[in-house]
Structure 1
Amino acid sequence: MGRLIAPPFVPFQPMRRQIDLERLVSKARWSTYLHAAAMADTCPTLLYLWNMRLCGALLMPLHLVEILVRNAAAEALGAQHGPTWPHSDAFRRRLPQVHSGYCAGTELEKAVRRSARVDDVVAGLSFAFWHQLFTRRFDQSLWMTGFSRVFPHALPLPSHALRAAAYADLSRLRQLRNRIAHHEPIFHRDIRADLAAATRIIHSRSPSTLDWLLHHEGATSLLATSPLEGKIAPPL
């Protein structure tokens, strides 16, 4: 058996590492970090690393929001259309029928074809589907009586106002989720506003769950270590 030969020692080369990272992520993507770092007089590699860590930390609140919202909506649908609500013609007729782009009705049909079990359907539907349920078209049929049932700790406001506020928060969080999923930079966002939106949604469903999340999440502490903190214009 031949002897294992250790690779030659290579001294630490921080500049070379930055060049390698730039080449691997593409010049177009790297230019976003390079420009922001130059404005803040910081290192683009450090900014890239911090952005990656922040994306990872935000998955925890986003996870809870999506799970709690889809289960809350499924509960409201079950109260309105019965335990087999995915098969309800009355509910299906209320879904928007879009001939191009995303169509909630088509997604539901595909989910039902994959499995007749309601739990499987709920788990298989996308965040976009649940987001659609918070549009104005469902004010009367779902949320007038259903919102306070499934979000019992929401503010004492009319159901249509609560639904509209939830839609706005979910729109913001869905955009953030999509940017993270596509590995886009999020350092320019108002992350504190994103976290506030997640906080409102989770609290309205379960304050104790929010307390648990706040004890364990790491995004808030990461914000304090931002290499851009106080050095560039406020986030978009």
Structure 2
Amino acid sequence: MPTRFSNQLILDLEAVLSPPRFATYLREAGGDRQKAMALYCWNTDVSAAFYVMLQFCELSIRNGAVEAIETVFGANWHLNRGFVYTLPAPARGYRPREDLADCAAKLPTAGKVVAELKFAFWRFMFLKGQQPRIWDHHLARTFPGYDKALTLSQARARLFDDIDEVRKLRNRIAHHEPIFARNLAEDHARIRRIIEWRRPDVAAWLDGTQQVTTLLAGRP
């Protein structure tokens, strides 16, 4: 992207972005419109770079969870009432039990259900209540790279916390929101940790291909 913007281009870009959205960057840049645009471009680039890692992270989470769930509840776990009733049914906010029921009713296979469930669903798979029935027996197998200095309960709790923060980052990127105010180095570490716990060799491979750390070092 350009490193120098004409005044007209800044006005045009501000119209595309919307003045309130651009104002977020303008405040961070101390009112300097050139610096604000440079920050916006950097935010866009680093968001794109994170998106690559988020794909591997999300697949690590959901496929690791599915492997464990299938072992306990069978290949048709999405139809197993015993499993369904392990899910919370809050009065407000996201409802994992309802999400699963909706997907199971309209989709023909467990694989299609997995692809359709919201990312928030998988966070609920790592709640404390799932520890004895799923993670005490299957965390070490499905996330073999987990930190062995932690107990299985601590590892499950770490995954839950990491997934929650990754979900927040993912949602901001998906909605084209600024992420520059987050601790992006910590976000990168969380994402990498989840992938490493699932398959260490994949995390090591991504170290040589990802662009996040380079972009973080070059923030304007």
> Which range, TM-score by smaller chain?
over 0.9
1:63 corresponds to? 55
Question: Relative to structure 2, which stretch is displaced further, 35-44 or 133-142?
Answer: 35-44
TM-score for both structures, normalised by structure 1: 0.87
Gaps of 5+ in 1: 1-11, 228-236
Question: Relative to structure 2, which stretch is displaced further, 39-48 or 132-141?
Answer: 39-48
Gaps of 5+ in 2: none
Give 1:215's aligned amino acid: G
1:96 corresponds to? 88
1:226 corresponds to? 219
> 1:40: Cα distance to partner?
8.5
Give 2:14's aligned amino acid: E
2:35 corresponds to? 43
Cα displacement string for residues 154-195 of structure 1 (whole angstroms, at most 9, x for unaligned residues):
112211100110111111110000000111101111111001
CA distance in 2, matches of 1:93, 1:200: 30
Give 2:101's aligned amino acid: E
1:166 counterpart (147, 159, 169): 159
Q: 1:13 to 1:65 in 2, by over 3 A?
A: closer
Instruction: Report whether the alignment pairs 1:75 with 2:71.
Output: no
2:124 counterpart (126, 132, 136): 132
2:191 corresponds to? 198
Instruction: Report whether the alignment pairs 1:28 with 2:20.
Output: yes
CA distance in 1, matches of 2:31, 2:157: 38
Q: 1:185 to 1:57 in 2, by over 3 A?
A: same
Percent identity over the alignment is 34
2:201 corresponds to? 208
> 1:206: Cα distance to partner?
0.6
Instruction: Report whether the alignment pairs 1:188 with 2:206.
Output: no
Give 1:18's aligned amino acid: I
Q: Which runs of 4+ in 1 moved over 3 A?
A: 39-42
**Aligned to 1:216, what secondary structure does the other structure show?**
coil
CA distance in 2, matches of 1:98, 1:41: 45
1:121 counterpart (85, 106, 113): 113
Q: How many residues align?
A: 216
Give 1:84's aligned amino acid: N
> 1:74: Cα distance to partner?
0.3
Give 2:174's aligned amino acid: A
**Aligned to 1:185, what secondary structure does the other structure show?**
coil
CA distance in 1, matches of 2:32, 2:204: 35
CA contact (8 A) 2:65 2:142 kept: yes
Give 2:104's aligned amino acid: V
CA distance in 1, matches of 2:43, 2:151: 38
1:175 counterpart (168, 193, 198): 168
Cα displacement string for residues 27-85 of structure 1 (whole angstroms, at most 9, x for unaligned residues):
21111101111279961111111111111110011110101110100000011111111
2:140 counterpart (145, 148, 163): 148
